[in-house]
Structure 1
């Protein structure tokens, strides 16, 4: 894989740390701003909503900008939003800073996904995507747990400062490693924006985006609210939150790595093998959450399965949107973050039910069930042309 691809993954690591880190910080943020944990969880949805709106909007605005300048500008804006978040004493301002960070993240990821696909041969998009998303999975292994430890020791604001600092070496790497590229050269042969947007009318593209959103919704529904499960249901000390996040992140890294080698040629195999156990795993985790060994094991397994299926479906989005040279990455980003927005909102509602802290786990199982129910009758629609064999 080309070296610039790993520089993009380093930047995605910083952004992934920010996107996932609230899972370990929600109780402290809620206490600091005198709001409920459910209300603090809306910060995750705010970030995701910014990503959904920002991905196509910013990608359209930046489609004629040189890629290196675009990527550099987005990551510096992302760092500035975290400085604001670290300084504010107002929850609405913190909420707004998450949206700004999300817009910057959306623009970066939309450009980076498209750039990653062009850095490799046409038959290796899945592997390139796996390298890029490894930045996110490494964030869940090291960045997010590290942020949780830092937040426990120095307060949640220290974690925001740390993310801002992480952006600086990533910015230098982009500046040094990504070719400058002139706008006219990059625009040569590019279809009109209207033609790229018209790709969204393709049924197979809509279906794989919907399935990707549902799988990601299930992932974020539970991941966002894992901290109270660890401390209250399992009865473990707060420092164990970091251990659980590391296990989830390690599983996600394994899942993305394995799926990355299969998603180009055998996406149907990944989904057929991973779908049923992912469906069963969330309710199993809810029923066994009070048993630490079972909790640790299932968190690892669910992380692996969630990211294996999610990354495969996003690779399918890139293949189905091949006609959208500059917008395909934004479609993939939007699909991921529709799920990231909906999942925590659905999960937050369940916290007020009899299920309590375990509600999000049951919600994740329901979301996967919906995905599979949609997928089965529509398998004829998503039957692939050359690459998208999603349900075959």
Structure 2
């Protein structure tokens, strides 16, 4: 894999850490800015909305500019937003920097996905995307816990400065390693891209990606109540469980990358039924830590293996829409990430209690399985000819 690809993954790592880090920083951040913790918690949905809006917006605005320049601007804007956030004493200003950072993150990821594919031969696209998305999974394993520890030692502002600093080598990697060609090198225009985006197979892959990510984040967001509730473990175990899930997600992305190009149907055939059995098993075994801990790792691996495979399928299916291919994948994943916790939250007040989000994940995966089996569209596991994806390069 090209070295520039790993520097792109470094930027994704910094951005993924920023997306998930606030949960551990709110207790120190809120009193420092003179707002209640509940108010400070609004920074998280602000970031999510910015991610959903940012991917298609930046992709459309950037179509007339070289991809390298757009990626470089996105990294620098993201870094600058965190530097301003580290300096401000105003919650309103910090809120604004979170929205700007989210827009930059979404735009960067929407452009980085096809850029990563362009750095390797067509038959290695899945492996390249596994490296890139590995930045997000490493963020859940190391970035978020590391950010929480840094915040506990030196304050929340130190975490913001650290993320801004990571953008420097990432920007250098973009400048040196990413070709300066325009995204629309294949010659497709807006009308041609609009036709591609109406493909049933592409819409199916996007819908499945959103449903799978919703299931993933419905459970991941509310793992802490499971650990301290039914499992009967102390609060210190929350970080351990989250790291197990993150380690599993990294393993799943890495393994799926080996198959998503040559045998894309295999990860889909294995992970769908395994997840369908795994989420109910996790809910039922939540009171047994000896079973809960390995199952969390397995579910993280299966969830991200399936999610990354579907991202690869979206890029393949949207190969004739080079400007919006990455935006399609980014938007689908972030709609799922935002919808999952919202759908799972009411289940906490039901008889299921802390296990409710796990059952919600099971229902979402069941729905995704029904959609995949019942659709008459071209299955998203079929690999297209290399000529179909060459315009995205």
TM-score, normalisation: structure 2: 0.88
Superposed, 1:1-392 pairs within 5 Å as: 1-22=1-22, 24-25=24-25, 33-36=35-38, 43-86=43-86, 94-179=94-179, 181=180, 187-378=184-375, 380-383=376-379, 387=383
Structure 2 regions of 5+ residues with no counterpart? Answer: 386-393
Cα 1:346/1:85, change in 2 over 3 Å: farther
What do the CA deviations read for 1:100-143 (whole angstroms, capped 9, x no partner)?
Answer: 22110111111111111111122221111111111112212211
C-alpha distance 362-44 of structure 1, shift in aligned 2 (>3 A) = farther
Deviation, structure 1 residue 160: 3.2
What SS does the corresponding residue of 1:236 show, helix, strand or coil?
A: coil
Q: Given that residues 146 and 242 in structure 1 are in contact (C-alpha distance below 8 angstroms), is that contact kept between their aligned partners in structure 2? A: no
Q: Deviations over 1:267-301 (max 9, x none)?
A: 22211111122122223223333333322211101
C-alpha contact (below 8 Å) 1:5/1:116 kept by paired residues = yes
Query: Structure 1 residues 278, 85: CA separation in 2 closer, same or farther (over 3 Å shift)?
Result: farther
Deviates more, 1:81-90 or 1:348-357: 81-90
Asked if 1 retains the 8 angstrom alpha-carbon contact of 2:126 and 2:258, the reply is: yes
Asked whether the equivalents of residues 227 and 237 of structure 2 are also in contact (C-alpha less than 8 Å), the reply is yes
Aligned residues: 383
**What RMSD over aligned residues (CA atoms) do the two structures have, in Å?**
2.7
**2:107 alignment partner, SS class:** helix
TM-score scaled by structure 1? 0.88
Q: 1:189/1:177 Cα in 2 relative to 1: closer, same or farther (>3 Å)? A: closer
Deviation per CA, 1:35-80: give whole Å up to 9, x if none.
45xx876644432322221111101111222222211211121123
Q: Structure 1 unaligned runs (5+)?
A: none
Query: Equivalents in 2 of 1:28, 1:279: separation in Å?
Result: 39
Structure 1 stretch displaced more, 321-330 or 91-100? 91-100
- Deviation (angstroms), 1:257: 1.0
- CA distance in structure 2 between the partners assigned to 1:228 and 1:241 by the alignment: 9
* Contact 1:23 1:227 (C-alpha < 8 Å) held by counterparts: no
